[in-house]
Structure 1
């Protein structure tokens, strides 16, 4: 694979499925819009924390499904063009430190990085379907 395209681990163990912790810094990466409003030509990353679902419910005036995560920082988050990208955390995985994907960038506020959190798909909610499709 190439420099910016590599496999990522999935949260397939019971322990990893319980690792959604509000105190952890998760990593989001993408080539979406930057603070100056243009798409990035280099892979960008940001460390961001999970938030309580109520933060997204207040920001977007709608319920957040249990299959979604509320994620973000007052100045750092994903932006348009990052959708579909990973939300990951480095974990001990089969005796090796690896990035495990816990979320998928979904949507956020119209103006990125303006203090509003973003909404991400919670990957563990779809692990039974994913493992069935993968045949494992």
Structure 2
């Protein structure tokens, strides 16, 4: 069963070295990756690929959602999720936007 309403959660961001140790040789955890969740923490799971990672930010007396990551590999219950760190791809994104 899938919820009818979009879900949200506050997830911890893991240290890069801790994340690399967990993933070991399966994935290289470089500067373009953020790891979130892990055991006993809220996390993304099946069907969440492409989900945003962001934070609320005050801008001109309004709170806006600032996205800085996209879920690429889901951790589900025990493993961290691997999130693509968007600021490293801003130039590519802007160059490939179409009206």
User: Which aligned pairs between 1:62-73 and structure 2 lie closer than 5 A?
Assistant: 62=25, 63-73=28-38
Question: Contact conserved, 2:12 with 2:41, CA < 8 A, in 1?
Answer: no
Question: Contact conserved, 1:39 with 1:81, CA < 8 A, in 2?
Answer: no
Aligned length: 95
User: Which aligned pairs between 1:1-136 and structure 2 lie closer than 5 A?
Assistant: 38-62=1-25, 63-73=28-38, 74-109=40-75, 112-114=76-78, 116-134=79-97
- What is the CA RMSD across the aligned residues, in angstroms? 1.9
What's the secondary structure of 1:131's corresponding residue? helix
Distance 2:86 2:60 in 1: 19
Question: Which 5+ residue runs of structure 1 have no aligned equivalent?
Answer: 1-37
Distance 2:66 2:80 in 1: 21
Question: Which 5+ residue runs of structure 2 have no aligned equivalent?
Answer: none
What's the secondary structure of 2:2's corresponding residue? coil
Relative distance call for 1:75 and 1:58 in structure 2 (3 A) is same
